[in-house]
Structure 1
């Protein structure tokens, strides 16, 4: 006796096959496909009962088969009736019955929800895996615009929902969705099929259609498509599509028999994993051999024979053969394999439960025990092990088949659900699918983006060229973007989506390191630019910088070697070495503008230039003031090095504040196509103050030097200073607008060029002429040459000078003042008195006070200048017209006589020469005071008077000027009589030449 499963117990009873239960409706015609599945289960049960597997526990399996009539309500009533009849006497149940259910063909996703269906299990993958496999297949071929045909049952609705959800995540859009009712004979079905065919023709871009419909509906749909094609005068090509068939009809022989692939197109089907059909084929052979009358209790098989005979009118033998042949045509290897797995799982779980108990006694085995054993333990079939997962499913994957025109199916791919991938079994047949395009819009070329148009579908777009700094390498064959479902309109049954972050669009290049031109498929790295050492222009500037350093060092060495010569002394002596040193530092700072900048380099280059050039200009300013004050007969410039130190300190303070508050730094300028490595000045205000301060010093030098531009050329530093400062000011004035308006790699070169121009301007104007005289005009580098030039210059002027000799004496001793003047007889308007014998009283102060003197010019005919004591008088005789003039230019000779003692001695010698030359008696008071002299100084003031052509005698006078005694001896003397040029004979000879 077979074992019959019941709701709360197990009992032994005979096999029951019924098509005539009380109050249960039945279908008018049996489907061969359903009958094949039933026979496969019967064969599997009988095969297990014959095997030694159940012999150890002394039980056998049975079955009770009911017809659901392809209706959900009918299936539910049949199930409830089955459970009521399965009640076991003497047992109780405190909850809903837990009856293990194993399906071999139900693929609805909702059945994997264990909160609702805790006892449901199946030996095939659910529809989620099938739809995932379909979406993966569509993505492989770039089919993004597809139609969907399904039924309104639980299977069709669930499959449609899962497909749309997974397709949207992979950038696949559903062009249309057609839902056909399941009731084949109703008018609604015909209307739905007609509308579906019309929709397919209206969407020629959708060359791929996914169908979850039943085989019968697919046959009707094919016929309607062909009819509309003929009525509309369309060609056969307009009807051809790529049909992606679900497991419901992918291996249906009835569809194959009623369609022509030449009209249909291509069919790719998903079927369950298959096994060996030899056992089932043997079973069908036994049925055929048994004949028409030997069907046993199988009322369904008897009814199938009756239906077949009624339509064709076969004889008994011919009828059975035709029936078996029909069953073989509807035999699907995947379905048979799933049925066998389900039966084997039940049998092996039962053996596991009954191994230690006698299961023949009713109530010994509870249904939940069998369910637990099925869930926890592996079972084997044909040498392979299988196990249900946490959802109660066995996911073996799918076989992908391709229909051929001869009715055969070719196995072309294997789908693996664990990694969502395909394994190709053959590719020759798949090559025909590569040229098929199913897209709403054409593919965009690299460098274009997809700009969606108005409408619910994101797969319909226009191609727009990517702008600069954006790129796109998606040609439409791959879909790295995803879509997010927003909502579904109930009336139109349309779903609306939005782009996710992986949308196919123009992607932005890295704004820091990359760029791209318009319409490109990739980003290009930005070129890193800098004013490098290898740049030809940089090499030229570096050469000039290095040459400047070398020239300054050579000039410095030459000046040190010739430091005692008049030219070097006239050039400033020690100050010239300071100027040359500052120029060397300035040239070195210019070199820091080349190369890859760093923070230290950016700070050092501006500070070094600012301080070094300030030092240079400060020294030049001191020289300029020195010369200017000398020829203006003002007091001597005090402490020149202190003035230089003050000027440089102010600039150093500015640079320190700059570095502390907002110092320069290296940064990268992000240009559209390049990265420029440069120095940022930090504070442009501080940068401007630094340059402005140097400009102010240079401007002062320029003004002061411009006033002394007419001096003798041997002493004419003013001309060179004027030209060099003018060159500096012009170059830096031009630098400002150029620097503001210039950007790029050569911006540092602009400042570098201006620095070199300034450095070379000073070097060439100040030192090269001196070097030329030292090296090539040695005859001009002598005291005699300097005296001659001074005398020549003095003859060109008509200036009259007053001379004072200031000496310090012991307390109580007055300072004598010698007045000596000559003027033209009868000259008018010169402010001099013509009275003879005018006496001038001179007063003297002590050491700690300034000497104040007053003088009156007059003809000196034996004039006596009296002091406080009678023995301190000095008389000077009148000189004739051959007397020598005293000129302001003679003051320059004081550079050659730096000591006051030398000056005084020279004055005494000159007076002596005058006395001898003119035969006059000259007495003076110098001899008596030289021994007491501590410091001495000559000063001069220049009085300009108009020249007189008829002047025969010039006046020469001496007076005292206010001079601090403490300043005596500092710096070179700035006043000499023209007698210092030599003896009277030498003077006369010089004049005649």
Structure 2
């Protein structure tokens, strides 16, 4: 397996065949194992030979494609014995962090994993998992200072028992291995007490302490690969010879001549090789000349004083997708000191749902901070790079891991604020209705007859409508109620202000008409007052109708004003029309205020101009303060501000104009005479 990866280039090396998987597949298999368990923080140890370095580069790319990171990569010389300083370098690297350690060493590079473990000085803590492609040999695994336990995953070639192989081993003579040092040692290991009695045999050499080697490795090792390689060549030779014989059934001299004169023809038969071995397994070479086989994934298990290989998975790069990588988690024996099984290896802990990753500057992408998602965003999986924005009609829950429907809110009759405003409106409406009843009952008294009692009736009725229209602002907004809210408000208040303007005009004309030679007597009738009320109100009605037919108010869902809330509110439709209605009301109020202010000291017994002045002062103050408060409010509180302005301004008019008169009517009836009025 130590051949250069370049040997897989069929153009440069058309006659190279590999009977074991190449390093490309091995790197992919290790990458799949890391991905399966979610191990993303990896340390790599390898030899510095060209083949290993190229394979490690492929492995790094595989790890990074799966979202993993390389904590560090340490290289060791591929020949010679490891020095103490190199062991210290490995120790320092391992102590840096808790990682998955990958040992990429080949047996035939002069650096096998057992050479490292033989030092028994490598400080591998139980918080690590080791993945290797080399056989692991341990001298006395029960030694106290040697604390490696069940943390190995080993990628090894498929190993199976070949037919009659055990019989061959039992009948084999040691003299056949006399000139092969490694084979001779292999044969001696069969005498070890750990080997099955069916294999163990009498040894001609003296027994001695041997390196503990699992019998599975000792007996079979790479024998299965050699077995398949020999049969591959045999089948190719057979096909070539039989193709040259004509009938393909008997051996002839012509066959021998074909074999001697045209050996290069063997390659085309190797390329097209496809056969079943003695175990009935399909064997063929891929387009690169590699035998289509794979790896066993093995768990190295320490139990008391025994060492055992346990197959826990397989990786076959030639299998269909989804079947190429198989892991049997139930067969895995995890190190007892692991608090989590399987353990997790990360630079930083996983970001739980509700958080997202924030990559740290100048560090690998696996090293990050976990920050909570912003309002309105969620993450419902671990380790999400970005948070997902919730739809407009939904909002993130408290944990930021799910979107929930936004709370629909509006100023309702059931909530405390709605109940309070409704109660105040009904109370003021009742008070106004009582005052209207008092004025009707005492309609013939001088104080009621003063300043046109019809205007007083109109004003009181319009104030009742003002208190009623405030109720339109409470409840679930609909298109119809949105239109009625603003138009009813604008028209009723225009009637109120028109009535007050007519009252003020009546006060002024009444004083002027008393002067000698005055011609204002003809303006003293009720027709003039009614004309003022109707004409001024009609202008507001025209404005409201224009508003309704051009850009009427409508109900809409406001999803952005308040966090986690859908506000059902009325959109004015046309902001210009809305402020034109308010502006016209302000104009009527200003005219009434100016005229009343100028007429407040007129010496007339019918003069109520000073009360109108105070009422207009209250009215203007309320609506001047309303505009900035209204613009700075949101949702149902914006509606509450407008309702408060309606109630406050209407109450100011009611109190300043009618409370003094009711006081005289009910509590000071002796002043409700013409003589009393003159003293006012």
Shared fold, TM over 0.5: yes
Distance 1:413 1:470 in 2: 44
Which aligned pairs between 1:420-499 and structure 2 lie closer than 5 A? 422-434=327-339, 457-459=364-366, 463=369, 469=375, 480=383
Match of residue 214 from structure 1: 106
2:45 to 143, 149, 165: 149
Aligned residues of 2:373 and 2:387 also touching (Cα < 8 A): no
Residue 620 of structure 1 pairs with residue 520 of structure 2: no
1:210 is displaced (CA, Å) by: 0.8
Aligned to 1:59: none
Aligned residue among 89, 103, 106 for 1:199: 89
Residues 698-709 of structure 1 mapped to structure 2, 5 A cutoff: 698-705=589-596, 707=599
Which residue of structure 2 lines up, in the alignment, with residue 648 of structure 1?
537
In structure 2, C-alpha distance between the alignment counterparts of 1:696 and 1:724, rounded to whole Å: 15
Asked if 1:537 corresponds to 2:437, the answer is no
Query: How big is each residue's C-alpha offset from its partner over 1:853-905, in whole Å with a ceiling of 9 and x where there is no partner?
Result: xxxxxxxxxxxxxxxxxxxxxxxxxxxxxxxxxxxxxxxxxxxxxxxxxxxxx
Q: Structure 1 CA distance, aligned partners of 2:432 and 2:246?
A: 115
Q: How does 1:164-203 map to 2 (within 5 A)?
A: 164-182=60-78, 184=79, 189-190=80-81, 196-203=86-93
Distance 1:178 1:723, change over 3 A: closer
Q: What whole-Å deviation, never above 9, does each CA across 1:933-984 have from its counterpart, x for those lacking one? A: xxxxxxxxxxxxxxxxxxxxxxxxxxxxxxxxxxxxxxxxxxxxxxxxxxxx
Shift of 1:149: 2.1
Instruction: Judge conservation of contact 1:341–1:381 (CA < 8 Å) in 2.
Output: no
- Pairing of 1:296-335 with structure 2 (within 5 A): 301=177, 303-304=179-180, 308=184, 318-319=203-204, 330-331=217-218, 335=222
Helix, strand or coil at the partner of 2:486: helix
Out of 275, 279, 285, which is 2:164 matched to?
279
State the Cα distance separating 1:521 from its structure 2 match.
7.0
Superposition deviation, residue 657 in structure 1: 6.9
Instruction: Tell whether the 8 Å contact from 1:739 to 1:747 is kept in structure 2 after alignment.
Output: yes
Contact 1:449 1:465 in 2 (8 A): yes
For the residue of structure 1 that corresponds to 2:72, the secondary structure is strand
Q: Say whether the 8 Å CA contact 2:359–2:367 is kept in structure 1.
A: yes
> Which residue matches 1:586?
466
Q: Compared with structure 1, are the counterparts of its residues 747 and 305 closer, same or farther at alpha carbon in structure 2 (3 Å cutoff)?
A: closer
Q: Which residue number corresponds to residue 298 of structure 2?
A: 400
Partners of 2:444 and 2:102 in 1: CA distance: 109
Q: Give the number of aligned pairs.
A: 621
CA contact (8 A) 1:515 1:672 kept: no
Per-residue deviation at 1:217? 1.3
Cα distance in 1 for partners of 2:312, 2:560 equals 58
Contact 1:668-1:678 at 8 Å conserved across structures: no
Distance 1:699 1:206, change over 3 A: closer
Which residue of structure 1 aligns with residue 309 of structure 2? 409
Q: Secondary structure of the residue that 1:429 maps to in structure 2? A: coil
Q: 1:245 to 1:721 in 2, by over 3 A?
A: closer
> Out of 790, 795, 804, which is 2:674 matched to?
790
2:106 and 2:348 map into 1 onto residues whose CA distance is: 31
> Given that residues 446 and 673 in structure 2 are in contact (C-alpha distance below 8 angstroms), is that contact kept between their aligned partners in structure 1?
no
The one of 326, 347, 358 equivalent to 2:247 is 358
The 2-side partners of 1:620 and 1:752 are apart by: 21
Deviation at 1:469, TM superposition (A): 4.6
d(CA) in 2 for partners of 1:151, 1:751: 81
Q: More deviation in 753-762 or 542-551?
A: 542-551
The answer to whether the 8 A contact 1:401-1:410 is kept is yes
2:160–2:220 CA contact under 8 A, matched in 1: yes
Distance of aligned partners of 1:699 and 1:128 in 2 relative to their CA distance in 1, 3 Å threshold: same
SS at match of 1:533: coil
Q: Is the 8 A contact 1:211 1:243 kept in 2?
A: no
**Which position in structure 1 is the counterpart of 2:641?**
750
Q: Deviations over 1:512-546 (max 9, x none)?
A: 654689xx775786755543333201112123345
Shift of 1:618: 1.2
In terms of mean alpha carbon deviation, does 729-738 or 438-447 score higher? 438-447
The answer to whether the 8 Å contact 2:411/2:636 transfers is yes
Distance (whole Å) between structure 2 residues aligned to residue 692 and residue 746 of structure 1: 22
Contact 2:271 2:285 in 1 (8 A): no
- The answer (yes or no) to whether the contact 2:299–2:333 under 8 Å persists in 1 is no
Quote how far apart the aligned CAs of 1:695 are: 2.6
SS at match of 2:532: helix
Distance 1:757 1:241, change over 3 A: closer
- C-alpha distance 257-739 of structure 1, shift in aligned 2 (>3 A): same
Q: 1:214 to 1:677 in 2, by over 3 A?
A: same
Which residue of the partner structure matches residue 606 of structure 1?
486
RMSD of aligned residue pairs (Cα, Å): 5.5
Distance 1:720 1:217, change over 3 A: same
SS at structure 1 position matched to 2:307: coil
**2-structure distance, mates of 1:244, 1:554:** 93
Distance in 1 between residues matched to 2:123 and 2:344, nearest whole Å: 14
CA distance in 2, matches of 1:661, 1:789: 53
SS in 2 for 1:270: strand
Does structure 1 residue 631 correspond to structure 2 residue 511?
A: yes
With over 3 angstroms needed to count, the CA separation of the structure-2 counterparts of 1:521 and 1:733, relative to structure 1, is closer
Q: Is the 8 A contact 2:350 2:382 kept in 1?
A: no
Match of 2:132 in 1: 246
Local SS of the residue matching 1:754: helix
Hey, what's the Cα distance between the residues in 1 that align with 2:551 and 2:7? 74
The structural deviation recorded for 1:166 is 1.9
